[in-house]
Amino acid sequence: MRTLLVEDDDLIGNGVEAGLRQAAFTVDWARDGREAQLALGTTKYALVVLDLGLPKMSGAEILAWLRDCANDVPVLVLTARGNVVDRVGTLEAGADDYLGKPFDLSELVARCRALLRRSQGRSVEVMRYHDIVVDAASKTVLRDGARVPLTAREWAVLLQLLSHQGVPQSKSRLEESVYRWQEEIESNAIEVHVSNLRKKLGADLIRTVRGIGYLMDKK
Ligand code: CA
Question: Selecting from 1.10.3210.10, 3.40.190.10, 3.90.226.10, 1.10.10.10, what CATH number does the domain 126-215 have?
Answer: 1.10.10.10
Residues with CB under 5 A from ligand 1 (ion): 8, 51, 53
Ligand 1 centroid to residue 7 C-alpha, Å: 6
CATH code, residues 2-119: 3.40.50.2300
Instruction: Single out the residue of 51, 45, 55, 67 nearest to residue 99, CA to CA.
Output: 51
- Cα–Cα distance for residue pair 86/121, rounded to 1 Å: 28
Residue 146 has pLDDT above 80, yes or no: yes
Tell me the domain boundaries of the chain.
2-119, 126-215
- Cα–Cα distance for residue pair 70/96, rounded to 1 Å: 14
Ligand 1 centroid to residue 72 C-alpha, Å: 23
Ligand 1 centroid to residue 43 C-alpha, Å: 23
Ligand 1 centroid to residue 86 C-alpha, Å: 13
Over residues 108-124, the mean pLDDT reads 90
User: Is pTM, for the whole model, over 0.95?
Assistant: no
pLDDT of 81 reads: 62
User: Residue 37, Cα to own-chain centre: how many angstroms?
Assistant: 17
Same fold across 2-119 and 126-215 = no
pLDDT in tens, 10-61: 999 999 999 999 998 999 999 999 999 999 999 999 999 999 999 999 999 9
Instruction: Single out the residue of 75, 5, 63 nearest to residue 39, CA to CA.
Output: 5
Instruction: Single out the residue of 30, 70, 69 nearest to residue 49, CA to CA.
Output: 30
pLDDT in tens, 170-187: 999 999 989 988 888 888
Ligand 1 centroid to residue 54 C-alpha, Å: 5
